[in-house]
Amino acid sequence: MDIKELILNCQKNEPKAQGQLYKLFSSKLFTICLKYSRNYEEAQDNLQEGFLYIFGKIDQYNFKGSFEGWIKRVMINYVLQQYRGAPIFEVVKDNTIIEHDILIDTEDEVSLEYLLKIIQELPDRYRLVFNLYILDGYSHKEIASLLDITEGTSKSNLARAKMILKEKIETLSLNNKEYFTK
């Protein structure tokens, strides 16, 4: 069964097709859930609930553009909905925040495992903006719209996330080399 036929069958609420779609995309979508969730268990819950959400929205897919891109965007939107309305963002009145790269002073590269761990430990407001901007390439304008915050708040939260990550990596580089790769 090709992907178009699979999607059409999912639009008809056929459980077998839904199971196949789940098997086809669950690992990619779980990676997204891990990025935006606080921990592994929450990511698992978001994946399961997110697929139910996708199956409820799949009739909106009109076969224009990449289905994989569409399903990823729907999952990101679902996970972000879990944070909407929650008081996790600090409103920033001053929009003069300057974005700059934060240089980390370490000779070794940080392991992916450790980097994912410390990203997940970020406060929600910082983690969401960091992932949307750095890992998924959203603009601050898009992030502001998705999260119902201002562009200034998005920029501020990104800068703070980068600073927290920098501090954790620099502290680790002084104390524990096991999380570094050569």
- Examine the pLDDT at 4 and tell me if it is beyond 80: yes
| Average pLDDT of span 23-52 | 94
pLDDT greater than 60 at residue 100? no
User: What is the fold of 109-181?
Assistant: Arc Repressor Mutant, subunit A (1.10.10)
Give pLDDT, residue 95: 43
Please state which architecture CATH assigns to domain 3-81.
Orthogonal Bundle (1.10)
- Residue 106 CA, chain-centre distance (Å), reads 26
Annotated domain spans of the chain: 3-81, 109-181
The DSSP annotation for the chain comes to --HHHHHHHHHTT-HHHHHHHHHHHHHHHHHHHHHHSSSHHHHHHHHHHHHHHHHHHGGG--S-S-HHHHHHHHHHHHHHHTTTTSS---------PPP-------SSEEPHHHHHHHHHHS-HHHHHHHIIIIIT---HHHHHHHHT--HHHHHHHHHHHHHHHHHHHHHHHHH-GGGEE-
The single residue listed with the structure tokens 């944070």 is: 83
pTM score above 0.75: no
Q: Looking at residues 23-51, what average pLDDT do you find? A: 94
What's the pLDDT at 177? 54
Q: Residue 182 pLDDT > 50, yes or no?
A: no
pLDDT band at residue 8 under the 50/70/90 scheme:
very high
